[in-house]
Amino acid sequence: MKRLLPLIAVFCFSILAIRPIFSSGYFPMHDDTQVARVITMGRSLSEGQFPVRMVADLGFGYGYPIFNFYGPLPYYFGGTLYAFGVPALLATKIMFAVGIILPAMTLYAVVSGMLGVPAAVVSSLLYIYAPYHAVQIYVRGAVGEYWILLFWPLILYALAGEVNPRHAYRRILIGAFGIAGAVLSHTLLGYVTVFFLAVGLLVYWLIRIMKRTFAVSVFAAHMSTVLFGLGLSAFFWLPAMWEMGYTSVAGQVSESANYRDHFVCVGQLWSSLWGYGGSAPGCLDGMSFILGKFHVVIFLVSLFVWLWSKPKKVKTVIVAGVLITVITVFLATPLSAFMWQLLPGFAYLQYPWRFLALSTFGLSLLGGVGISVLRGRKRQAVVAVVLSAGIVALNVKWFVPQYTYTTGSDTFESPSDLRWRASKISDEYLPNDLIRPTRESEAVFDTIEARTTLAVSALRESAIDESFVLQAASPMDVVIHKAYFPGWRYFINTAEVIPHIENGLPVVRVDAGQSLVEMRFTDTPVRTTGNIISFATFILGTVILYEQQRKAKR
């Protein structure tokens, strides 16, 4: 109960950050495709597709496997609500709210066990009320980038400190869930998480080997955590890496989104104007990149107080907080330009300021340390209350949208909104050679277009399975207006055919008279492999958990 009541208080404080989301109507954001993605995910789930890869309505109506490449986890949550009848707009808002509040809850649970309850309260509120967090929510609409905040504390919990052999399985599974959740929440930051986790563990174990403190049980626990996490998420990251070349994502890493133009000037971390615009070359951006003056002050004071207390043992949370903050702030600024040329795949991140999400994690971790070294529970509680009030009072002003407008779910569910407005915001997962529409009238509303010499009757239409009866006046080539990706199979009168591809679209030959044309989206070998690895990892984890619990009851 002593830990539950402060947690309830953190939850209540967190509501202030999401209150504008549940006002009537909706609000603008950079990535204004969130409702569309929830709708298409929900429809795909309702059609029995799992894991969901292909959606039908996006990509200007050509359809594309967005969830084969783009972090699907938040949309599984929102899409499931939509599939069960929750209105699309409300399901999306609930998805937002869960991704905003739960990270504070997980950080509280982890830090309270390491530093105590008062420190955990402060760290949690620093986490949720970081100014960049408000940018993610109300300016950019970067849902995956704030959902991933939920999982970083779980990874820290799994890897921090020595492992008690009796409860090692619990840490391993929680950490594996954290790694898998990070990978599934945001593709790019998930890659960053795994990359630095691998580098960090390598350095950590090299140091322990040199100090001759290598421990097999701890090493095995760390490796198991990473492997289980990667195994659980293999159904996503394995095909995402292998099949990315079939999309135009590589073309997005261009002069229009070159990482060299989007570093954060050092002064912007302390003071920069708040705005709802975009990122631009130089130090005058349309949005703010401040870390938060109060956040930085608490971070520095906590570090000073901890050092002044002359600790006998360096805690993992201290090292993690300092390293994460220093490294990620460095990577967000032009000082690290040479590193971006060396680190593999970092050009795909496009915007160095993405690292500020990790910076807020580091700042929040260390923010509670100063309280933890104070003597006396009452003194710690009083300081925590004062700091908590200051954190909320000084930062809640950022957590508001630019404006709201009246709309309903029906607007977002219209074919026009899905196949034109939302599609033109994000089309990078279409084939590179597919010709993009330049106006709404060019968007696709019929998979096979009827014409004078061709009659078309649709028998079945879903994201992964469509069939049509065609009545052709003469033998002819028929263009199927569904973007081609590996895994699509085509049948004419139940016989499989190999289409030829023109501008990213399949073209099949039909004879005069009536023909049954079918198309099915199936798993490629790499997708099947990923599915098997994830399923096997899940079963293995379930069996281990069951056996451990059974032994504990004896």
pTM: 0.93
State residue 255's pLDDT score: 45
Distance CA(81)–CA(95), nearest Å, equals 9
State residue 159's pLDDT score.
87
For 238-261, b/e burial (b = at least 16 CB within 10 A) is bbbebbbebbbbeeeeeeebebee
Helix axes 525-553, 168-185, angle to 10 degrees: 150
Q: What is the DSSP letter of 470?
A: E
The H or E element spanning position 458 is: strand 454-461
In the DSSP assignment, the letter for residue 26 is B
- In this prediction, residue 161 carries a pLDDT of 62
| pLDDT at residue 256, rounded to an integer | 52
Cα distance between residue 47 and residue 67, in whole Å: 15
**Which position has the token pair 């300021």?**
353
Handedness of CA 334, 339, 340, 346 (dihedral sign): negative
CA distance 531 to 525: 10
- DSSP conformation class of 494: T
pLDDT reported for residue 303 = 87
Coil/strand/helix, residue 71? coil
Q: pLDDT (tens digit, 0 to 9) for every residue of the chain, 554 residues total? A: 567 888 898 999 999 999 999 988 899 999 999 999 999 999 999 999 999 999 999 999 999 999 999 999 999 999 999 999 999 999 999 999 999 999 999 999 999 888 889 999 999 999 999 999 999 999 999 999 999 999 999 999 998 865 566 667 888 899 999 999 999 999 999 999 999 999 999 999 999 899 888 888 889 889 999 999 999 999 999 999 999 888 877 655 554 568 888 999 999 999 999 999 999 888 988 999 999 999 999 999 988 888 887 666 557 788 888 999 999 999 999 999 999 988 888 888 889 999 999 999 999 998 888 888 888 888 888 989 999 999 999 999 999 999 999 998 899 999 999 999 999 998 888 998 899 999 998 899 999 999 889 999 988 999 999 999 999 999 999 999 999 999 999 999 999 999 999 999 999 999 999 999 999 999 999 999 999 999 999 999 888 877 776 666 66
Phi-psi region of 448 (alpha: psi -120 to 50; beta: other; left: phi over 0): beta
Could you give the CA distance from residue 358 to residue 362 in angstroms, rounded to a whole number? 6
